[in-house]
Each structure stands twice: as C-alpha cells, then as structure tokens.
Structure 1
Amino acid sequence: MKYMLLLLFLLTCVIVAQGQTQDLLENVVITSQKKKTQVSTNENGELHVNVSPEDVLKFKANGLVRYSDFGARGDGKTDDIDAITAAHAYANQYGLLVKADEGATYYIGGKERTAVIRTDTDFGTAAFIIDDTEVQNRDASIFMVSSSLKSFTLEGITSLKRNQEKINVPLPGTCLITVTDSTLRRYIRFGLNQNNGSPQTDIFVVDKNGNVDMDAPIIWDFDQITEITALPIDEKTLNITGGHFTTIANKAESKYDYFRRNIAIRRSNVLVDGLEHRITGEGDHGAPYRGFIDIRDCSYVMVKNATLTGHKTYSTIGAAGKPVSMGTYDLSVNRALNVSFMHCTQTNDINDRTYWGVLASNYSKNLLYDHCTLSRFDAHMGVANATIRNSTLGHMGINAIGSGILTVENSTINGRSLINLRSDYGSTWQGEFIIRNCIFVPESGRLTSASLINGSYSSQHDFGYTSYMPERITIENLHIDDSNHPEGYQGPAIFADFNPQMTDDSYEEKFPYVRTRKVILRNVSTASGKALRLSDNPFMFKDVKVDTY
C-alpha cells in the first residue's frame, strides 16, 4: 500500500511538471511531456529541457541527476555546456544532487551559457576543459553558485555609524546588508593605474533582531545612504566537491578586458573542497582574468584542498599613459565576509615572477589563509581583519590596506617585505599588526636590503580618507634570512623609507599621515647577524616607540 501511495505522489509531481516552468536567471524552460528526455535551444538561445515521466520518477528516487542524463557526451570534444546547464536547472527545481560522470571529460566552448548551482554538486574525478580562445561574452561565468533567496531594499534607514551595533529594522532572518553612499568617493587610486575612486560602500551581517555581527563591523560613517539592500543568508551549507578544470587561455589583446569564465560564488554558506584548476595555452599576449573562483556579495565561504594556478603576467598602457603589468588572478574576493582558504596550493612556482599573484580582494572582512602555499595575499580596496597562519607565501608576499587586526603567524614570507602597505591606496592600515613565529626571506633570497614594513606616502594626494600606519606592531619570534645582502648593508629596517622628501620639519603634509606609535619586538634574529634598525628615514619615524624588553 505504501508503495502505491509513493507512486501516486510521484505521478502527481509529473502532472504538475507537465506545465512549463522557467527560471529567468537560468533562462531555462523545463517541461515533462510524454516523450524522451532531451535538451534543445530556441532561436533566442533559451534552453528547453524536457524530462520524460519515467526519468522524473528515476531522478526523484535516486535523489540525483548526472550530466549524461541530459545528453552530455563527456568525450572532451563535444560542447557539453547546454547539458550541464540543463542538469543543474532541473536539480535546482527539485532539490537534487548533481554528480558528474566518473572519468568524463566535458568540453566547454565559447558559447554564452551559465550553469546555475543551487544544490550540492559533486564534480568528482571528471575533467572540464574551458576553451577561452573564442568567447561570445568574456563576462559570462561558466558556473554561478547562487541562492534562491532574493535581496530586498531596506526601508527606514537613513544613516549608519562606524562600529554601530544595531540597526532598528525587522528582518526575516540573518541577512547580509550592503550599503552605499554614492556622494562620497573612497580609494582614489594613485600611480600608473590612477582613478577617481569608488562610491563609499560597506557590507556586514545582521541577525533577525538587527544586531550587527561585530566580528565584521561597519567601518564607515554613512551620514546619508543612497542604496541599502538586504540578502537573506542560507542556513544550510551548499557543498561543491572535486573537479579537474583546465582553462585554455584567451588570445585577446593585452588590455584591461577581464575574463570571468569561472565559478562565481554569490551565495553564503558554501564549501568548495578538492577542486583543481590549471591553465594551458598562454602565449606572448592575452587579457587578464578576474579569478577562476570568484567570491562576491556573500559570507561564510570556505575553499579547501584546492589546487590553483598563477596566470602569466602581461603588460599594457595604464591610466597614466605608461606601461604597467596587469593584475590577473585565480582567486578573487569582493564584498564578502568570513572567507577562508585552507590547505590550498598552486601548480606553478610561487617565486616565479613571470606569474602574477594568485589572489585579489576588495571591500572584504575576515579573510583567512591556513596551511596554504600561494604566491600572494592581497587586499586592494581594503580588508577589515585578516589572518595568515601555517602558510608559505611567494614572491608577491602580503600586500594590504585596511583596518582591524592583521595577524601573520607560523608562516614563511618570501616577498619584497614582510608586509607591504599598498602605496596606490595610501599605504593605510587603521589598526594593528601581530606577527608571531615567522620566517621572512626578503625577495625570495635575491640580493636585497631588507625592510619589514614597506609602503610609500607623499602626503600630497587625497585618497578619500585619512591614511594610517598600524598604531601598534607586535613582532615575536621572527627570523630574517637576509644572508644575500649588498655590500654596505646596515641590517634590516623595521620601516622602509616611506617618504624620502620628509627629512626635517620643513616638509609640509597636505594630507597628514598618522604614523605608528609603538613597535614591540621579541626574539628577532637575522641570518646576517646584523641588528634590526628603525629605518633609512629615522626622522619620519622618530616618534615611534620601540619596545625590545
């Protein structure tokens, strides 16, 4: 009797499914008519997916679909993106797991088609070849991990304050809040890639009672708000596992036309485990990449056991009319909170300077590297709180501006400096540095004069905010391998010469720099045997208290 009731329920599902359903984001129409399961495309490029009643019952009983169920060949030659997209669209509608076929190789050509992932997905041992040599739309992701929950405009909030603990508005549950004041410009970039900055923006998590998560606080005052939205956060973790991805690199002109042929994560509470991405076909020119794993507008995302690849560095003419190397990335984090990278490595040498650093981030909070071996950690337009531990960083090291606490512990850093405060954004960090149990190998062991904290600030450019150096820097148990140093080397400096023009009180700071107040040193050793000193510009840092007891 119970089996008859189950069959009746499943047949009811089939009858309901016989009408057309469509998800506008996916641009897919799903039907269940009495004919075979097939995927077709109409003249507008819209996918039509028909699933036979028999397959409806089978998929429901198994709790999963495979790409081959929707016609994917997996032979490494046939373009399977339509079948892949169809499988995910159907799985999204009925809450089913998606599994790639074991041992398959899926070829994905240049067609503009994005597969939307809203259910657990197991790429397994399957391979995916993403051919970027002829692409219809370089901005179209291959996969988009998204939520079925919809964002909405928050009413009744006209201002916010830095470190505000609560907003007085009811919410349906925990939400990700994004706020903008387009009348203010921040991050007014200086240098070869100069620009006019970006509107002031912030992102933070609020519970259903309006309490702000103070681990990722509001970092700006908003005296007025031009836009504020709330996106409910999915409570259940979405899992993406496995997969061997290879990008055949684009052959486009070397200019800032970024490619986004990637896995875009736009949902909170996501775990990506065991993914591998490689790159082939890079020549003497090409356009840069925004990030193969591209995390944006979300919170609580973890990438673990991933193998990534640095992209070849190409140059172009920058905004200042001079040649500039273009940033190109395999990891990208933008307007995202609580993002962790754990046990991640890359396929190419982390100290090979022909490859660009692997990560870029903007407007993010609480970023973590743990047990990673990668060429770079970077925060362009600010990070609030970051931690690097049990890791090895390559030739591009740690580059950051932001606020809160930057912690580096149990790690080896091979960059030009231990921490580089990005000069194009004002070499600013409003907060504290904590460095414990680390090894610093300046310039990956190349001939150099070492400095721990690097940056540049002329005090003549308006970045859209007051620039700070970390108020307090604590360094405990640091070994500096400065064995390869030039003749006349005086020993490593705590601070580089941030402003060679500032040598006495006659220098006028148009936009004053708030400098470090205190440095605490405990057990700092050098391979050269030379003592750590303050700076090549002792005047600039004359008021810094150095505590060595």
Structure 2
Amino acid sequence: MKHIILSLLLFAQVVSACSQIKNLPETSNNEKAQTPSQEDMAKFKTAGLVRYSNFGAKGDGKTDDMEAIAATHAFANEHGLTVKADEGFTYYIGGKSRSAIIRTNTDFGTASFIIDDTQVESRNTQVFIVSSNHQPYPLEGVSSLKRNQEKIDVTLPGSCIITVVDSNVKRYIRYGPNQNTGSSQTDIFIVDKNGNIDMNAPIIWDFDQITKITALPIDETELKITGGRFTTIANQAESKYTYYARGIAIKRSNVVVDGLEHRVTGEGDHGAPYGGFIDVSDCSYVTVKNTTLTGHKMYQTIGSAGVTVSMGTYDITVNRALNVSFINCKQTNDINDSRYWGIIGSNYSKNLLYDNCTFSRFDAHMGVANATIRNSTLGHQGINAIGSGTFIVENSTVYSRNFINLRSDYGSTWQGNLVIRDCVFVPANGRQVSASLISGSYSGQHNFGYACYMPEYITIENLHIDDSNHPENYQGPAIFANFNPQMTDDSYLEKYPYVKTKEVSLKNVTTASGKELRVSDNTFMFKDVKIADN
C-alpha cells in the first residue's frame, strides 16, 4: 500500500488518488490524506479495521506521525471501521495544530504515544477529539425553566442533552486570590423524546430568561477506546493561566475508556498548567476505567487579586457533563506528595462517581449536582466540593487536612445532604493537626450570586478518625471547622446569611486518640445544629 505523502515535492504524484476522497472534514489546514487503493480499501472493509501504518505512520518515536494518525481516523470514520494501533510502535506527536477525530472504536493496544508540548502551534488543539455523529441545535419554544421542573413542552428526535444559559444572571462570583465577576447561569440536563426530564440530574436553577438553549442528541451506541501508553513531554511556557489542552477530549455520549495510561515527563521549575489529558465535556454516560493517570507539578503565578497563587493543573477535567464515572483508576505519583496538584477538576456537572480509585483529589469546582465516592483513597488535596443534591462517601480513606472541604472561594455551599459511611480519616496524612471533618469559610459579606448553604442533613456512620498524632491541648476532632471566627455572638451580622446544617446523625464514630467528636471550636455559630448520637 502507498504511504502517506507529506512532502510537497511529491504532492503532484497523488493528486489523482486524493481526488477519490469525497469529504474529509476531520483533516485540518486544508490538507488531504492519501487515499488507499481500491484493493486496499476492500481489504480494510473486509477486516473491519485500519491501522496507522496503513496511512504511513512510522512508529519510530522520532518521525511526527500526527498526519497519518489523523488520516487513519478520518478514513475509519468515513467507512465505519475500527482503528487499531500497531503493536510495538511508538508514535511521536509534535506541536502541529492538528487533531485526530475519533468516531469509531479505537484500540491503542500496547502502542506508545509521545506528545511533545515543548513547541506547539496552538496550546488549545487537542490531540484526539472523540466526536459525536450529532450536532447541537437551537431549541425553539422554551423561554423559561424552573428548578426541579419535570417536563418541557418539546418533541425531540430522541433523548437529548439540553444546555441552557442566561447571560443576564451571574453565578459563582469567586472570592479570594482568584476573584472574578462570576459566570453566566448555566445548566445541563437530559430530556427524552417526549420532553420528560431525567430527574436523576434535575434542573438546579430558575431561568426567568434564556439567552441560549441547545439540544444535542445522545449517541445510543457505545464507543470504546482501549489501551494506549501516552507520555506528555511537558510544556516549558511561562507560569501563568494559559492552560494547555493537549490530550483526549471526549465530546460524545456513551463512551468507555479502558486501560489507558498517561505519564508526564520534562517538568522543570516553571510551566503553564494543563486542563486535563482526559477532558470530558458536553456529553453523558462516560466511563473511564482501569486507567492510570498522573498529577502535574504545581506552579505559582500572580492571581487576579494581585497576590501569589498556586495554579490548578489537571489530568482529568469534567465540564458540562452528566453521569461520568471513574472506576478502578489510579495515578502514577504519590497521592500525598504536595508538589503535585490534585488530579481532577469539574464544573457544571451532575452525577460524578469515583469507585475503587486512588487519587490525590476529588473536586467539584463551579457546582456539581450529586456525587459519590466509594471504595476509594483520596490524598493530600482530599475532597473539595460545592454544589447540590446528595454527596455520598463510603468505604473510603481520606488523608487530607479535612475529610471534606466546602470551597470557600465559592461560598462553602452544598445545598443538599451529605453521607459519610464506613470510612477512615487520617488528618493531614498523620501530621500534627487539630482535626475537623468538614471545613470551609464564610463571612456572610460577599455576594457569590446565590444563597449559600451547609449540607442540610449530615449522616456519619462507622467512621474511624486516626488522630493518634495530635498537638498538645488537643480537644478532640470537630465536626465543623471554625467557618467564621468573627461570629461569636448575635452582634455579628451577615449581609448574605449562611443557611446552617439542621441535623448531624452520628453512629459508631471512633478516634485513635480516644477523644470524643465535638461540634466545633465555634460553638456559637453551630449552636442550633441538632446532634443525634445513635
């Protein structure tokens, strides 16, 4: 079979062959890949798969194979073929602004991929984009929505993801070193063909006005991506908030990623942050399993408030996505090594799951509705959350300073319930700290764009706190940290009142120190919380 022609000097020899391509929208920069001969095409169709080497990939770890990789996927998409990497190959991917579009099952197998980010044409060009066969379209006839609404008056071609925005309303008005003026009110939910809303992922805001609303049909067939040994040679850019998106973007519903590995090399004393090697967005029903990822080195910059901040940098991001699960996953570096940032960040998402994962962090950034962590181990950055619905942590071990941190930069808010069951808490990985289970900070003087809540009902059952290494004068672990040291009596006025927890139900909470679990250092702030010791 002919190899892919990269040299312009030889381009004229393949004009007639290239003319056989009717439509290759996945190829960029107006370049067309070499078309296989009719004989080769027939062989691929009979086999049901195509390999990168069929389009000229060298796999020697030195030659840039991105053109061949992109062309292979374009051909596979056109003919409905599986893509299979060549066993034993090492594909080098340079900094060219080029993406391979994946719309068919892909088996990376045991092949290796080197992604060199030291010199890129565009830091926002993903290497792979898992793309839907459908396109979002404007949804007509919906002018308003209500929180927990069960149905909208539309008829759809099938189940769809609905994304809605009201740019007149600002939420998540961030406080602190990375302060900002907020983001447009946004929600995402699933509707069936008759307009019935999936109430497992309900609407969380009232929309009195809608400035944009789209429907994206959900792909019904499952797309599988298996294997692959990926290594990123880290960028050497200036340490500032210029995020790199150079991995696998999943923008299609009903996707399974199984057995992938991602490592990072070449990190020095500076670099720009990453937005996630696996980047899940605008989709639903995505499962990442049996996968090994890597925490990125933490760098500092000057935040929007003019002070030094540590930049968040991720190997996983989940944005505007529903029903996303991570099962039997881990990371290559020590989950308690504070030189490396936590592995995940998420925004505008619902129904996130960790099951049997060993990661340095779980994070719900700009709001998550419903999250579950089970059979897992969380490291130095622990569990960080703001959002709504039910948050469940069960049969898991947490090594961070607090068991759960309600993020203060977004109002330490969780509008719903919290369940902690059959867990172990090792405060600060065994360092001397005065332990508290639930941390956060709320002055009541900043407008976050919404009322802020503590979990309404908290259930803590079968929890062991390993506080054996504790400071002198340790009074025992607290349920709540001191969220507002200035609030010591009724004279303190909250301009934006905090809605406190109604009840904490305790059952079989034990401590290594032998000291009893208490409410808080700030007994006044939590004086009205009912403690039910069962």
TM interval, shorter chain, is over 0.9
1:91-110 equivalence runs, <5 A? 91-110=76-95
Q: Distance in 2 between matches of 1:151 and 1:458?
A: 41
* 2:514 alignment counterpart: 529
Q: Is the 8 A contact 1:477 1:523 kept in 2?
A: yes
| SS of the residue 1:49 aligns to | coil
| SS of the residue 2:107 aligns to | strand
Q: Distance in 1 between matches of 2:58 and 2:507?
A: 61
Q: Distance in 2 between matches of 1:203 and 1:307?
A: 29
| SS of the residue 1:291 aligns to | strand
Selected match of 1:86 from 52, 57, 71: 71
Please give the per-residue CA displacement for 1:253-299, whole angstroms capped at 9, x wherever unaligned: 00000000010000000000000000000000000000000000000
* 1:211 alignment counterpart: 196
Q: Distance in 1 between matches of 2:310 and 2:17?
A: 56
* 2:313 alignment counterpart: 328
One-letter code of the match for 2:447? Answer: D
One-letter code of the match for 2:99? Answer: T
* 1:433 alignment counterpart: 418
| SS of the residue 2:276 aligns to | coil
Selected match of 1:199 from 157, 164, 184: 184
Selected match of 2:501 from 489, 495, 516: 516
Q: In the alignment, is residue 413 of structure 1 matched against residue 398 of structure 2?
A: yes
Please give the per-residue CA displacement for 1:321-341, whole angstroms capped at 9, x wherever unaligned: 000000000000000000000
Q: Distance in 2 between matches of 1:173 and 1:49?
A: 37
Q: Distance in 1 between matches of 2:244 and 2:252?
A: 21
Q: In the alignment, is residue 225 of structure 1 matched against residue 210 of structure 2?
A: yes
Are the structure 2 counterparts of residues 448 and 158 from structure 1 closer, same or farther at C-alpha, using a change threshold of 3 Å? Answer: same
Q: In the alignment, is residue 290 of structure 1 matched against residue 282 of structure 2?
A: no
Q: Distance in 2 between matches of 1:211 and 1:23?
A: 37
* 1:21 alignment counterpart: 22
Please give the per-residue CA displacement for 1:46-76, whole angstroms capped at 9, x wherever unaligned: 2333221111111111110000000000000
1:22 Cα offset (Å): 2.4
Q: Is the 8 A contact 2:24 2:32 kept in 1?
A: no
* 1:501 alignment counterpart: 486
* 1:377 alignment counterpart: 362
1:21 Cα offset (Å): 2.1
Please give the per-residue CA displacement for 1:522-545, whole angstroms capped at 9, x wherever unaligned: 000001110000100000000000
Q: Is the 8 A contact 2:291 2:329 kept in 1?
A: yes
Comparing 51-60 with 427-436, greater Cα deviation is found at 51-60
One-letter code of the match for 1:27? Answer: T
Are the structure 2 counterparts of residues 16 and 323 from structure 1 closer, same or farther at C-alpha, using a change threshold of 3 Å? Answer: closer
Selected match of 2:335 from 350, 353, 356: 350
Q: Distance in 2 between matches of 1:415 and 1:196?
A: 30
One-letter code of the match for 1:470? Answer: P
* 2:445 alignment counterpart: 460
One-letter code of the match for 1:22? Answer: N
* 2:470 alignment counterpart: 485
One-letter code of the match for 1:243? Answer: G
* 2:373 alignment counterpart: 388
One-letter code of the match for 2:499? Answer: V
1:405 Cα offset (Å): 0.3
1:109-128 equivalence runs, <5 A? 109-128=94-113
Q: Distance in 2 between matches of 1:382 and 1:441?
A: 26
One-letter code of the match for 2:79? Answer: Y
Q: Distance in 1 between matches of 2:502 and 2:332?
A: 41
Structure 2, unpaired ranges of 5+ = 1-15
Q: Distance in 1 between matches of 2:17 and 2:223?
A: 27
Please give the per-residue CA displacement for 1:113-138, whole angstroms capped at 9, x wherever unaligned: 00000000000000000000001000
Please give the per-residue CA displacement for 1:480-522, whole angstroms capped at 9, x wherever unaligned: 0011111111000000000001000000110000000000000
Q: Distance in 1 between matches of 2:380 and 2:63?
A: 40
Aligned positions, number: 519
Q: Is the 8 A contact 2:18 2:33 kept in 1?
A: no
| SS of the residue 2:33 aligns to | strand
Q: Distance in 2 between matches of 1:206 and 1:333?
A: 20
1:23 Cα offset (Å): 3.9
Selected match of 1:66 from 51, 68, 82: 51
* 1:244 alignment counterpart: 229
Q: Distance in 2 between matches of 1:45 and 1:317?
A: 40
Structure 1, unpaired ranges of 5+ = 1-14, 29-43
* 2:303 alignment counterpart: 318
Please give the per-residue CA displacement for 1:214-259, whole angstroms capped at 9, x wherever unaligned: 0000000000100000000000000000000000000000000000
* 1:299 alignment counterpart: 284
Please give the per-residue CA displacement for 1:291-327, whole angstroms capped at 9, x wherever unaligned: 0000000000000000000000000000000000000
Q: Is the 8 A contact 1:141 1:260 kept in 2?
A: yes
Q: Distance in 1 between matches of 2:501 and 2:44?
A: 62
Q: Distance in 2 between matches of 1:322 and 1:23?
A: 48
Selected match of 1:139 from 106, 114, 124: 124
| SS of the residue 1:84 aligns to | helix
Q: Distance in 1 between matches of 2:476 and 2:253?
A: 47
1:415 Cα offset (Å): 1.0
Q: Distance in 1 between matches of 2:66 and 2:394?
A: 43
Q: Distance in 2 between matches of 1:304 and 1:50?
A: 35
Q: Is the 8 A contact 1:479 1:525 kept in 2?
A: yes
One-letter code of the match for 1:490? Answer: Q
Q: Distance in 2 between matches of 1:183 and 1:84?
A: 43
* 2:62 alignment counterpart: 77
| SS of the residue 2:197 aligns to | coil
1:19 Cα offset (Å): 4.4
Q: Distance in 1 between matches of 2:31 and 2:129?
A: 17
Q: In the alignment, is residue 52 of structure 1 matched against residue 37 of structure 2?
A: yes
Q: Is the 8 A contact 1:47 1:82 kept in 2?
A: no
Q: Distance in 1 between matches of 2:413 and 2:439?
A: 11
